[in-house]
Amino acid sequence: MSYKHTKIWNVDNWDGKEPLPPELEEAGLCISRGEAVAFPTETVYGLGADARRDTAVEQIFAAKGRPGDNPLIVHIGDRSQWHPLVSSIPDMAEKLADAFWPGPLTLIVPKSDAVSEKVTAGLDSLAVRMPEHPVARALINEAGVPVAAPSANRSGRPSPTKAEHVTYDLDGQIAGIVQGGDAGYGLESTVVDCTGEKAVILRPGGITREQLTDVLGAEHIVQADAAAEEDTPKAPGMKYRHYAPSSPLVLIEGGMQKAALAARREGKTVGIMAVDEHRRELEASADVFIPLGSKDKPAGIAAKLYDNLRAADQSGVDVIFCETFPKEGIGEAVMNRLEKAASAS
Protein backbone atom coordinates (compact mmCIF):
# COMPACT_ATOMS: atom_id res chain seq x y z
CA MET A 1 0.00 0.00 0.00
CA SER A 2 1.27 3.47 -0.85
CA TYR A 3 0.22 6.81 0.58
CA LYS A 4 0.43 10.23 -1.01
CA HIS A 5 1.75 11.46 2.32
CA THR A 6 2.64 9.75 5.59
CA LYS A 7 1.03 11.62 8.47
CA ILE A 8 3.12 12.85 11.41
CA TRP A 9 1.64 12.91 14.92
CA ASN A 10 3.91 14.88 17.27
CA VAL A 11 3.61 13.83 20.93
CA ASP A 12 7.16 14.72 21.91
CA ASN A 13 5.96 16.93 24.78
CA TRP A 14 3.47 14.45 26.25
CA ASP A 15 4.42 13.46 29.81
CA GLY A 16 2.70 10.07 29.74
CA LYS A 17 -0.18 11.13 31.97
CA GLU A 18 -3.88 11.41 31.21
CA PRO A 19 -5.53 12.76 29.19
CA LEU A 20 -4.32 10.94 26.11
CA PRO A 21 -3.30 13.33 23.30
CA PRO A 22 -5.71 13.32 20.34
CA GLU A 23 -2.74 12.47 18.13
CA LEU A 24 -2.32 9.13 19.90
CA GLU A 25 -6.06 8.48 19.70
CA GLU A 26 -5.92 8.97 15.92
CA ALA A 27 -2.80 6.82 15.55
CA GLY A 28 -4.38 4.08 17.65
CA LEU A 29 -7.48 4.18 15.47
CA CYS A 30 -5.30 3.70 12.37
CA ILE A 31 -3.79 0.54 13.86
CA SER A 32 -7.17 -0.78 14.99
CA ARG A 33 -8.55 -0.48 11.46
CA GLY A 34 -5.62 -2.39 9.97
CA GLU A 35 -3.05 0.22 8.95
CA ALA A 36 0.67 0.33 9.74
CA VAL A 37 1.98 3.08 12.03
CA ALA A 38 5.53 3.82 13.22
CA PHE A 39 6.03 4.73 16.86
CA PRO A 40 8.83 5.27 19.39
CA THR A 41 9.96 2.68 21.89
CA GLU A 42 12.82 2.85 24.37
CA THR A 43 14.93 0.74 21.97
CA VAL A 44 14.27 1.94 18.39
CA TYR A 45 11.24 3.13 16.41
CA GLY A 46 8.90 0.27 15.57
CA LEU A 47 6.48 -0.23 12.67
CA GLY A 48 3.27 -1.55 14.18
CA ALA A 49 0.13 -3.23 12.86
CA ASP A 50 -2.60 -5.49 14.24
CA ALA A 51 -0.87 -8.81 14.93
CA ARG A 52 -4.12 -10.76 14.50
CA ARG A 53 -4.85 -9.74 10.89
CA ASP A 54 -2.98 -11.07 7.86
CA THR A 55 -3.71 -7.99 5.77
CA ALA A 56 -2.39 -5.66 8.46
CA VAL A 57 0.80 -7.65 9.00
CA GLU A 58 1.38 -7.83 5.24
CA GLN A 59 1.63 -4.03 5.22
CA ILE A 60 4.65 -4.26 7.51
CA PHE A 61 6.45 -6.70 5.22
CA ALA A 62 5.58 -4.68 2.11
CA ALA A 63 6.69 -1.33 3.54
CA LYS A 64 9.98 -2.72 4.85
CA GLY A 65 10.71 -5.05 1.95
CA ARG A 66 11.09 -7.73 4.63
CA PRO A 67 11.32 -11.46 3.79
CA GLY A 68 8.23 -13.38 4.92
CA ASP A 69 10.23 -16.02 6.82
CA ASN A 70 11.61 -13.43 9.24
CA PRO A 71 9.36 -13.51 12.36
CA LEU A 72 8.04 -10.40 14.10
CA ILE A 73 7.87 -9.37 17.75
CA VAL A 74 4.42 -8.74 19.20
CA HIS A 75 4.20 -5.75 21.55
CA ILE A 76 1.72 -5.50 24.40
CA GLY A 77 0.73 -2.53 26.53
CA ASP A 78 -0.05 -4.43 29.72
CA ARG A 79 1.28 -7.64 31.26
CA SER A 80 -2.16 -9.28 31.19
CA GLN A 81 -2.34 -8.95 27.40
CA TRP A 82 0.14 -11.73 26.68
CA HIS A 83 -2.00 -14.51 28.17
CA PRO A 84 -4.36 -14.85 25.13
CA LEU A 85 -1.34 -14.83 22.79
CA VAL A 86 0.46 -17.85 24.26
CA SER A 87 -0.39 -21.47 25.00
CA SER A 88 1.79 -21.55 28.10
CA ILE A 89 4.24 -19.35 30.00
CA PRO A 90 7.39 -21.16 31.13
CA ASP A 91 8.57 -20.40 34.66
CA MET A 92 11.80 -18.82 33.41
CA ALA A 93 9.78 -16.45 31.21
CA GLU A 94 7.68 -15.37 34.21
CA LYS A 95 10.84 -14.64 36.20
CA LEU A 96 12.36 -12.59 33.40
CA ALA A 97 9.13 -10.68 32.81
CA ASP A 98 8.93 -9.94 36.54
CA ALA A 99 12.45 -8.56 36.47
CA PHE A 100 12.54 -6.64 33.19
CA TRP A 101 9.04 -5.78 31.95
CA PRO A 102 8.27 -3.18 30.88
CA GLY A 103 11.62 -2.88 29.19
CA PRO A 104 13.92 -3.92 26.33
CA LEU A 105 13.48 -7.67 26.69
CA THR A 106 11.67 -9.97 24.23
CA LEU A 107 10.61 -13.41 25.41
CA ILE A 108 9.96 -16.32 23.05
CA VAL A 109 7.25 -18.64 24.39
CA PRO A 110 4.83 -21.25 22.98
CA LYS A 111 2.14 -19.50 20.92
CA SER A 112 -1.63 -19.74 20.81
CA ASP A 113 -3.69 -19.27 17.64
CA ALA A 114 -4.50 -15.64 18.46
CA VAL A 115 -2.03 -14.03 16.06
CA SER A 116 -1.50 -14.23 12.33
CA GLU A 117 0.72 -17.02 11.04
CA LYS A 118 2.57 -14.29 9.15
CA VAL A 119 3.80 -12.91 12.47
CA THR A 120 5.41 -16.17 13.55
CA ALA A 121 6.64 -17.25 10.08
CA GLY A 122 5.09 -20.66 10.65
CA LEU A 123 6.88 -21.33 13.95
CA ASP A 124 5.10 -22.78 16.99
CA SER A 125 6.53 -20.03 19.19
CA LEU A 126 5.87 -16.31 19.57
CA ALA A 127 8.17 -13.41 20.46
CA VAL A 128 6.52 -10.98 22.91
CA ARG A 129 7.64 -7.86 24.74
CA MET A 130 6.13 -5.02 26.74
CA PRO A 131 7.94 -1.76 25.92
CA GLU A 132 8.93 0.70 28.60
CA HIS A 133 8.21 3.81 26.52
CA PRO A 134 4.94 5.42 27.71
CA VAL A 135 3.97 6.49 24.17
CA ALA A 136 4.36 2.94 22.89
CA ARG A 137 2.25 1.41 25.67
CA ALA A 138 -0.42 4.11 25.42
CA LEU A 139 -0.66 3.62 21.65
CA ILE A 140 -0.98 -0.16 21.97
CA ASN A 141 -3.66 0.17 24.64
CA GLU A 142 -5.54 2.74 22.59
CA ALA A 143 -5.43 0.49 19.52
CA GLY A 144 -6.87 -2.32 21.65
CA VAL A 145 -4.97 -5.05 19.76
CA PRO A 146 -1.63 -6.84 20.08
CA VAL A 147 0.81 -4.96 17.85
CA ALA A 148 3.37 -6.73 15.67
CA ALA A 149 6.28 -4.33 15.30
CA PRO A 150 9.74 -4.78 13.81
CA SER A 151 12.05 -1.77 13.47
CA ALA A 152 10.58 0.97 11.26
CA ASN A 153 13.20 0.98 8.51
CA ARG A 154 13.75 -0.57 5.11
CA SER A 155 15.09 -4.08 5.65
CA GLY A 156 18.85 -4.19 5.79
CA ARG A 157 19.21 -0.52 6.75
CA PRO A 158 20.32 0.69 10.18
CA SER A 159 17.37 0.73 12.56
CA PRO A 160 15.74 4.12 13.23
CA THR A 161 16.28 5.90 16.52
CA LYS A 162 14.62 9.15 15.40
CA ALA A 163 11.35 9.90 13.64
CA GLU A 164 13.26 11.50 10.77
CA HIS A 165 15.02 8.18 10.14
CA VAL A 166 11.61 6.58 9.64
CA THR A 167 10.53 9.36 7.31
CA TYR A 168 13.70 8.93 5.26
CA ASP A 169 13.09 5.19 4.80
CA LEU A 170 9.29 4.83 4.74
CA ASP A 171 7.61 8.12 3.76
CA GLY A 172 4.66 7.34 1.52
CA GLN A 173 4.73 3.64 2.43
CA ILE A 174 2.92 3.74 5.81
CA ALA A 175 -0.10 5.52 7.27
CA GLY A 176 1.72 7.59 9.85
CA ILE A 177 4.57 8.20 12.26
CA VAL A 178 4.16 9.01 15.94
CA GLN A 179 7.00 11.41 16.68
CA GLY A 180 8.07 10.97 20.27
CA GLY A 181 11.71 12.04 20.48
CA ASP A 182 14.86 9.96 20.26
CA ALA A 183 14.96 6.32 21.38
CA GLY A 184 16.78 5.76 24.66
CA TYR A 185 18.77 2.51 24.44
CA GLY A 186 19.29 2.91 20.69
CA LEU A 187 19.57 -0.85 20.06
CA GLU A 188 16.82 -3.43 19.67
CA SER A 189 15.64 -5.51 22.61
CA THR A 190 17.44 -8.54 23.96
CA VAL A 191 15.70 -11.70 22.71
CA VAL A 192 15.57 -14.78 24.96
CA ASP A 193 14.08 -18.11 23.88
CA CYS A 194 12.23 -19.64 26.85
CA THR A 195 10.77 -22.68 25.06
CA GLY A 196 13.47 -25.17 26.09
CA GLU A 197 15.09 -26.38 29.28
CA LYS A 198 17.43 -23.38 29.37
CA ALA A 199 17.03 -19.74 28.41
CA VAL A 200 18.78 -19.12 25.08
CA ILE A 201 19.99 -15.63 24.22
CA LEU A 202 19.17 -15.23 20.53
CA ARG A 203 20.02 -11.53 20.28
CA PRO A 204 21.88 -9.31 22.77
CA GLY A 205 20.36 -5.94 23.47
CA GLY A 206 19.44 -3.47 26.20
CA ILE A 207 19.21 -6.14 28.89
CA THR A 208 22.70 -7.61 29.24
CA ARG A 209 23.78 -11.21 29.73
CA GLU A 210 24.99 -10.22 33.18
CA GLN A 211 21.52 -8.95 34.15
CA LEU A 212 19.86 -12.12 32.88
CA THR A 213 22.35 -14.22 34.82
CA ASP A 214 21.52 -12.34 38.02
CA VAL A 215 17.89 -13.47 37.66
CA LEU A 216 18.19 -17.05 36.35
CA GLY A 217 21.72 -18.08 37.27
CA ALA A 218 24.55 -18.81 34.83
CA GLU A 219 23.68 -22.50 34.66
CA HIS A 220 20.26 -21.71 33.17
CA ILE A 221 21.43 -19.43 30.31
CA VAL A 222 23.19 -20.27 27.05
CA GLN A 223 24.10 -18.34 23.92
CA ALA A 224 22.43 -19.35 20.66
CA ASP A 225 24.43 -21.20 18.04
CA ALA A 226 24.17 -18.66 15.25
CA ALA A 227 24.76 -21.24 12.54
CA ALA A 228 22.02 -23.52 13.89
CA GLU A 229 19.48 -20.69 14.09
CA GLU A 230 20.21 -19.16 10.69
CA ASP A 231 18.06 -21.42 8.52
CA THR A 232 14.92 -21.12 10.66
CA PRO A 233 15.33 -17.98 12.77
CA LYS A 234 13.18 -17.58 15.88
CA ALA A 235 14.01 -13.90 16.20
CA PRO A 236 14.62 -10.90 13.94
CA GLY A 237 18.15 -10.04 12.86
CA MET A 238 19.44 -13.63 12.79
CA LYS A 239 19.38 -14.51 9.11
CA TYR A 240 19.30 -11.59 6.69
CA ARG A 241 21.50 -8.59 5.93
CA HIS A 242 20.83 -6.19 8.74
CA TYR A 243 21.92 -2.91 10.34
CA ALA A 244 24.14 -2.08 7.38
CA PRO A 245 24.95 1.24 5.69
CA SER A 246 25.24 1.28 1.91
CA SER A 247 29.02 1.76 1.93
CA PRO A 248 31.22 -1.15 3.07
CA LEU A 249 31.79 -1.19 6.83
CA VAL A 250 35.13 -2.57 8.02
CA LEU A 251 35.84 -3.25 11.70
CA ILE A 252 39.38 -2.41 12.80
CA GLU A 253 41.03 -3.58 16.02
CA GLY A 254 44.22 -1.53 16.00
CA GLY A 255 45.97 -0.08 12.95
CA MET A 256 43.14 2.30 12.03
CA GLN A 257 45.46 4.98 10.63
CA LYS A 258 47.32 2.48 8.46
CA ALA A 259 44.09 1.05 7.00
CA ALA A 260 42.61 4.49 6.34
CA LEU A 261 45.73 5.85 4.65
CA ALA A 262 46.05 2.72 2.49
CA ALA A 263 42.45 3.15 1.30
CA ARG A 264 43.03 6.82 0.50
CA ARG A 265 46.13 5.93 -1.54
CA GLU A 266 43.83 3.71 -3.60
CA GLY A 267 41.73 6.80 -4.34
CA LYS A 268 38.91 5.93 -1.93
CA THR A 269 37.16 8.40 0.32
CA VAL A 270 37.24 7.22 3.91
CA GLY A 271 34.97 7.55 6.91
CA ILE A 272 36.23 6.71 10.39
CA MET A 273 33.96 5.91 13.33
CA ALA A 274 35.84 6.03 16.62
CA VAL A 275 35.49 7.10 20.24
CA ASP A 276 36.02 10.72 21.22
CA GLU A 277 39.33 9.91 22.89
CA HIS A 278 40.81 8.84 19.53
CA ARG A 279 39.58 11.81 17.51
CA ARG A 280 42.78 13.86 17.61
CA GLU A 281 44.81 10.82 16.55
CA LEU A 282 42.56 9.69 13.70
CA GLU A 283 40.65 12.65 12.30
CA ALA A 284 43.37 13.72 9.88
CA SER A 285 43.36 10.22 8.32
CA ALA A 286 39.69 10.47 7.32
CA ASP A 287 37.60 12.40 4.84
CA VAL A 288 34.77 12.16 7.38
CA PHE A 289 35.16 11.48 11.10
CA ILE A 290 32.14 10.25 13.08
CA PRO A 291 32.62 10.52 16.86
CA LEU A 292 30.95 7.60 18.67
CA GLY A 293 31.07 9.07 22.18
CA SER A 294 33.31 8.41 25.13
CA LYS A 295 34.81 4.95 25.61
CA ASP A 296 33.92 5.32 29.30
CA LYS A 297 30.20 5.61 28.46
CA PRO A 298 29.27 2.48 26.46
CA ALA A 299 25.54 3.07 26.92
CA GLY A 300 25.96 6.40 25.13
CA ILE A 301 27.80 4.68 22.27
CA ALA A 302 24.93 2.18 21.97
CA ALA A 303 22.27 4.90 22.03
CA LYS A 304 23.82 6.75 19.09
CA LEU A 305 25.18 3.80 17.10
CA TYR A 306 22.49 3.65 14.40
CA ASP A 307 22.35 7.43 14.13
CA ASN A 308 26.11 7.43 13.56
CA LEU A 309 25.91 4.59 11.02
CA ARG A 310 23.34 6.61 9.09
CA ALA A 311 25.50 9.74 9.30
CA ALA A 312 28.49 7.82 7.95
CA ASP A 313 26.34 6.35 5.18
CA GLN A 314 24.92 9.71 4.14
CA SER A 315 28.40 11.23 3.99
CA GLY A 316 28.89 9.32 0.73
CA VAL A 317 32.34 7.92 1.51
CA ASP A 318 33.58 4.82 -0.30
CA VAL A 319 34.44 2.85 2.84
CA ILE A 320 33.71 3.21 6.56
CA PHE A 321 36.22 2.03 9.15
CA CYS A 322 34.97 1.51 12.70
CA GLU A 323 36.84 0.54 15.84
CA THR A 324 35.78 -2.40 17.99
CA PHE A 325 34.67 -2.71 21.62
CA PRO A 326 34.93 -5.27 24.43
CA LYS A 327 32.08 -7.81 24.32
CA GLU A 328 30.87 -7.26 27.85
CA GLY A 329 27.77 -5.52 29.18
CA ILE A 330 26.08 -3.43 26.50
CA GLY A 331 29.28 -3.78 24.44
CA GLU A 332 28.14 -7.29 23.48
CA ALA A 333 25.05 -5.85 21.78
CA VAL A 334 27.07 -3.05 20.13
CA MET A 335 29.50 -5.56 18.64
CA ASN A 336 26.66 -7.87 17.55
CA ARG A 337 25.20 -5.05 15.44
CA LEU A 338 28.55 -3.89 14.09
CA GLU A 339 29.60 -7.42 13.12
CA LYS A 340 26.33 -8.01 11.28
CA ALA A 341 26.66 -4.65 9.52
CA ALA A 342 30.24 -5.46 8.52
CA SER A 343 29.39 -8.97 7.30
CA ALA A 344 26.80 -7.47 4.96
CA SER A 345 29.41 -5.34 3.22
Q: Is 343 annotated as a binding residue?
A: no
237-260 pLDDT, tens per residue?
555 556 778 899 999 998 999 999
> According to the annotation, is 240 in a ligand binding site?
no
112 is in an annotated binding site: no
Give tens-digit pLDDT for 137-182: 999 999 999 999 999 999 888 999 999 999 999 999 999 999 999 9
Determine phi and psi for 222, rounding to 5 degrees. -135, 160
Mean residue pLDDT of the chain comes to 93
Q: Which pLDDT does position 230 carry in this prediction?
A: 53
Say whether 6 counts as a known binding-site residue.
Answer: no
* Model confidence, pTM: 0.94
Instruction: Check: CB of residue 66 under 8 Å from CB of residue 60.
Output: yes
Phi and psi for 90 in degrees, rounded to 5?
-60, 150
What is the C-alpha to C-alpha distance for residues 333 and 47, in angstroms, rounded to an integer?
21
Residue of 71, 110, 74 lying closest to 92 (CA atoms): 110
Strand 319-323: give its sheet, edge to edge.
Answer: 249-252, 319-323, 270-274, 288-291
- What domains appear along the chain, each with residue ranges and CATH number? 7-230 (3.90.870.10), 249-343 (3.40.50.11030)
**Does 70 appear as a known binding residue?**
yes
138 assigned binding-site residue:
no
